[in-house]
A and B are shown apart, each in its own frame.
Chain A
């Protein structure tokens, strides 16, 4: 058992981790952040995707004690009060959810893509979400929503530049 400290969505957090406690289980069971899901515990479905020091990772494969001191971003930290992030709003407006189980991981992968690449092609979106399985097979509206979110972000950045 070790005490692990993280900054999660900007706030300092600490918890006691067993050897087998993955980052996913720590977030879900010890910090109460259940947005990231366990779909496989094999790194194959992407439902547990969170940002570790800004990079999307499958949190089910990360022993919590190995990332002591890291910066973590989860789906819970995206909205600013009632105001959704561009990606969240685009998923909502574009009917890019069905059962909702893959959605948090899918959105975190999309956020990371747009942080790195503000104007991705459809193909680049496909690659970026290739680790996120949507078994309801709603990929087309999901990819469209990510492109829509990119456009919203760029237009917001353009407005910012004008001010």
Chain B
């Protein structure tokens, strides 16, 4: 029998449908792989027993002919999604003992579609980082070179997908946290339009930026994964009532006549496959048009001010009073200080302090308000570009993964690390990274076209 973990999600679903193997078979294969590659530290919590129970139930569903869209497919969940009865840590000591009594809307929908939960994947603490080195549960290694980081913050999910420890995984983006590790681990990643996926039950980092999304081996797999996660949820006031389009059906591999914008600010540094990719798109019948995105450079600063400002209040609830880790003190204030000093890692504490400053009476007017204004200008860049073109095309992260040592010495602060990713996070437009490191960004709500173009990009040899 072939190794079932070598199948893409799409192939796994076909195999299950054709009864070539059962969900229990494929789940066992993944659990074995997880055990074999535990040294990569992709998972914070493995749930093998739970996975086998779900797989058995899935096989019964299939037998009864009531299979959901992801029936029997073993997947991994970034440990930012609250899972009922399964420890959810956000990779932080402060939540290291937290078991939610409720389920995130997006994961609930995945289980309803029949997916099987293998475990919870590692991330930077509270998703703050792009190397998966700030986790309380240790560093995750890049499966392609274990001395290097997998990117982040969804590095555990990316490593698990790349090392075939799951068929697909969920991720979250705030400032590039899906596309960045997808690029570093040579897999596909997609974050839909802000408002497509409910944030209910997702541990908040920066509410106006946080977007649940997916990582998988191909864009087609991403489309299979993301479709059931999307759609209106009355529990999230920022979630859209728009109907969910047929995303898998949109992948018709035809981009003839499509206008693809190349933002010149995103091509300052490009990877080796960049020129061939442009050539390939032209061959596919697309028209390439140069566009200007003049406020790209400012996106990084804007991102830091807004994300840290929001994060500092979102994380205020972790005070040791009601759940999570508590470190006692003589007074209430002392208990807060002890709990938060010990419960949060250095990176989170740094961002809390900066965020507190950015939202202080003085910082608000000097930084937060100007950042919001600049955010509007960045959005205008996109609006203007999309008057001329259907999608934007560029490298995702034009640099090679840095080593764990380099990451510990601030390599992630380099300017080419995430400056092609952040503008699209600030504007909420849909964006994805193909498994060859190239990204496509689309108009608000036009998630289908982004996936369709990415699917073609992945056809390139």
Note whether A and B form a binding pair: no
